[in-house]
Structure 1
């Protein structure tokens, strides 16, 4: 019988990010197991913290006396060895702690439901699994499951008659094929819209007990129900957002990642591991199939293709939507060229609304993305951070998009005027304009505030921001992409690829006989969209980044803290490694940050050194003087692969 438990403590302290051994007292012998939650004591302060049992043994490797576990929180082994190993790999790659990953991988307990589930499990009541109803109708784009490989598949365009994008249906059909062979599948999609569409599609093809939703939007009890069902040993399809990659499924056959370049796959919590990287790590640990699918491949995926690590396949149909750039249909009339919605697009939209639906994608949310002074025409800026002020909705107060400050009163620094007017049109102002131009149409707003999955019927004029467009059955007869020029004028390394990604996603919702209208002039990105040569453009962009040592051709670490902490950390790291440092720069809040670029090969040794530096900084506070308070803790933070660093 095991007498020693190896425990990973759930504490944010980086110096405790290691496995500790504890003695198992006699009362806990019957309920202890690998993967269960326990409470264990710390040597300082008499504190007790929770942790997970990672291993059991009869003898300890520690020669001294072991502290005893305090209690077993739950006898349910919620942390499987596979997920524990994956969490450790993710933490090591991101210079994070196991605790940070486990809080993402294992949902919070729903104590009452978990107790009932465990009681039924111990009583021997087998879960009802039902059977597969893999009857795919004639409109399906089902294909045979691809071999166990690592691949990128250029997704088919268009929408099925039941309102499911063909690209998503192709992934789900392949997942159903795996499931019918008695194997589990993980499908990761960017947000709730794709989750809802996928569940709707699967509801007529597989027993609902074989489909598990891994989504942070679920209430704790529902999330726990789906998570625990993955532990029952029955092959399932686990579908969800970022957390789906940690689903503890058995007999994992495939991982499908839809649209890995979507910003929603960027984890906002430490250790900030991107879903794509988690998928790559889990594939390496399990040897399962890994398929990335999207309309436009991300630069990171193209890098893997060029390395030969991924194979590329083109699943697009022959009759791709016709894309028209306004510059080619408006002649040389300068007034027509600078119209926000050219006359050709107006006429096409009017014709389409009589029997179908129309999608207009705008570049900005809110009402007015910027304000200008009525007196001198200068842009209105925030007094705190210098960012341009905008107007979230009509008659609202001017607001800073960065710090969120509202301005009751404002005066121009240049001419003293206190009056400002809108500059540019966000989604709400665009709807206001279109309401007058299309009096008979049903205006539908889709943005971060108005979450829509689909539209029904005809005569809908949908105005959406990037990535929020609802699905119309059989697709939109006309898709109009507005503000293309202003989207390309933004600052940042990823501006062109982000714009192309958003345009392609909207264009893919077009009907087979529909038309995509680009309101703007020729640009490499709009030409790639028109010619359906997105892969070539991404590859050209990747080559340019390789020459300049920009991600994803290199890894980047952001070192953040006080000026002294950042400089000291860089100095210590530079003693053993050759560093490519940008900065440090001091931000307006007084903190400093620096970027460190490194090759993927050098990152294998440099990232552990960064983790060691975080531990050193966290444990190097001087002892307090008599009668004095203890010095403040370290503010040093290191983030690997921060998005939009350039």
Structure 2
């Protein structure tokens, strides 16, 4: 008699957001097991859909005729039980479908990569290179099952192994490698989350030097799809692995998970800009509760989100004492003042110098020379700037403006604040005998050799150098602090701290153009007080992260109905609806709502039901021209303020 399988279909359609019963034919009964990926036909669809077996039943509640599973695809257990539980909880908390989360957690099957993995899988367990009892190095306080820790890491580079020579490994990298090795010796896996390719390369290099490369499952999204799938298959094996990646690594099916290690959790790359709009911080917090493993957040600065978790007792601050870096600040005045110039000059005599700037390109803005008005795009009236190639472009629509003419009739332009390209040219003229390197998000430079080199980098794009920089100069600090964003100060301090962490031992850092208490606290490396003051001010104003801030986007009629639903919840504060943008289907509106963390699950379930009811048979066309849901739900909208 054929078995009856309960399937979760990998689809974001709300009508498929439940388990469906399918017959398992006799020919597939041995292959099909809980966790198997299968292909099935559904309704009138002409193409088979991917689904996962989550359970078997003796009989079906469906009175009609059951369809059969067409085939079993890939490994026998593609969807692990722990990952399925994680996906279920995230779907409930984010007011989305289970299929939407499954698409994030499980990559598409690739037959060639699957066949290749089958050939390279070794029969025996990979050996661990050296058996030092690293747990006794004080790591047990972080790695004990169930412990949730915050660690403000020392901002310097260290020797990965004794006698290595010049210190060229970030201290957080060494800490993570030792933690991963300690877990391996206990037969446990480790998930390591990093924000971008620079940190990914640093941790992968250190794992290779430590002879742990054979244990690594590479989850980098920089790889081609087949390589990403190979990383998934390696993590799926029943042996301890070190999984290294960004957002996707939080879903990796690690065997006997011991620890989740997250570096620089407030980096924007951890926030998914596509549905279901999850932040990796929230994903790992839920996963830790599902797995009961240890969790470590390590950063060079402290975000207000970490302070909230520490104050609530959810995280324990286990920061260890270390010598503060040498940081000084100068009063507002010249962009490159005498203090900064002196630090660059002295530093170049000893080695490379890092200069961090706020913007890329030649000029961040341009103005009409006749009327001093900002130069505007002829297509959309957006502000113009000059990129690194010297081309005039619009910041809004990215259109080139080769023949500019102002409304006053003027055609000549004056330049605004210098970006990375012009800064590199100006400092190159001031120091003609040194090599100048520009490093931005558009020009990838991950590591440079030592020497008399001046590196001009935008925030987050600073390359590593063996032994660290001889001096670090932080320009445009006032610009970074004055950005129209709730997290402007938080992000500025994080960018500055990450730059300082790439300096050498006793190397000076100059913060240019900022005075006051905040600059003094930064110079003293008192990140705890900076973050505590920021969080306290957010609490007083009722702003995140003291509470959650979500948003609903759609037509005014749909949002008005949802607003009435939320009005029945006394702890929910509504803002709007307000006009958002105009799409092919008409004006789009946004409703913002604030709610306490304790009501998160309740509000998510309520909105999921109401949105499904109101959206039946309704679609809209997004700005990209694709069909989109009538209502977009973001339970934690980080872009609103």
Cα distance, 1:88 vs structure 2: 1.5
In 2, Cα distance between the equivalents of 1:81 and 1:402?
45
Contact 2:575 2:591 in 1 (8 A): yes
In 2, Cα distance between the equivalents of 1:127 and 1:465?
47
Counterpart in the other structure of 1:396: 391
In 2, Cα distance between the equivalents of 1:272 and 1:305?
24
- 2:318 aligned to 305, 313, 321, which one? 313
Counterpart in the other structure of 1:439: 432
Which aligned pairs between 1:354-433 and structure 2 lie closer than 5 A? 354-382=349-377, 387-397=382-392, 399-413=393-407, 415-433=408-426
Q: Say if 2:330 is the partner of 1:326.
A: yes
Contact 2:125 2:239 in 1 (8 A): no
Counterpart in the other structure of 1:333: none
Cα distance, 1:26 vs structure 2: 2.2
Cα distance, 1:142 vs structure 2: 6.5
In 2, Cα distance between the equivalents of 1:120 and 1:471?
34
Q: Say if 2:595 is the partner of 1:615.
A: no
More displaced stretch, 500-509 vs 214-223: 214-223
Q: Say if 2:222 is the partner of 1:217.
A: yes
Cα shift readout 1:354-382 (whole Å, capped 9, x = no counterpart): 22110000011122111111112122234
Which aligned pairs between 1:239-278 and structure 2 lie closer than 5 A? 239-278=244-283
In 2, Cα distance between the equivalents of 1:339 and 1:633?
49
Cα shift readout 1:603-638 (whole Å, capped 9, x = no counterpart): 22111111112211332559xxxxxxxxx9852111
Counterpart in the other structure of 2:567: 574
Distance 1:537 1:100, change over 3 A: same
TM-score (norm 2): 0.92
Counterpart in the other structure of 1:111: 111
Distance 1:21 1:463, change over 3 A: same
More displaced stretch, 272-281 vs 147-156: 147-156
In 1, Cα distance between the equivalents of 2:567 and 2:554?
17
Cα distance, 1:563 vs structure 2: 1.8
More displaced stretch, 377-386 vs 488-497: 377-386
- 1:191 aligned to 178, 186, 196, which one? 196
In 1, Cα distance between the equivalents of 2:537 and 2:226?
49
Which aligned pairs between 1:574-613 and structure 2 lie closer than 5 A? 574-575=567-568, 579-589=572-582, 590-613=587-610
Cα distance, 1:105 vs structure 2: 1.4
In 2, Cα distance between the equivalents of 1:134 and 1:324?
43
Distance 1:365 1:116, change over 3 A: closer
Contact 2:113 2:227 in 1 (8 A): no
In 2, Cα distance between the equivalents of 1:326 and 1:79?
55
In 1, Cα distance between the equivalents of 2:141 and 2:414?
56
- 2:235 aligned to 211, 230, 243, which one? 230
Contact 1:76 1:118 in 2 (8 A): no
Contiguous gaps of at least 5 residues in structure 2: 159-165, 620-626
More displaced stretch, 520-529 vs 83-92: 520-529
Partner SS state of residue 512, structure 1: coil
Number of aligned pairs? 619
TM-score (norm 1): 0.91
Contiguous gaps of at least 5 residues in structure 1: 328-336, 623-631
In 2, Cα distance between the equivalents of 1:572 and 1:61?
33
- 2:536 aligned to 521, 538, 543, which one? 543
Cα distance, 1:412 vs structure 2: 2.6
Partner SS state of residue 556, structure 1: strand
Cα distance, 1:75 vs structure 2: 4.9
**RMSD, aligned α-carbons:** 2.3
Q: Say if 2:630 is the partner of 1:635.
A: yes
In 2, Cα distance between the equivalents of 1:488 and 1:255?
32
Which aligned pairs between 1:7-26 and structure 2 lie closer than 5 A? 7-26=7-26
Which aligned pairs between 1:462-481 and structure 2 lie closer than 5 A? 462-481=455-474
Distance 1:2 1:553, change over 3 A: farther
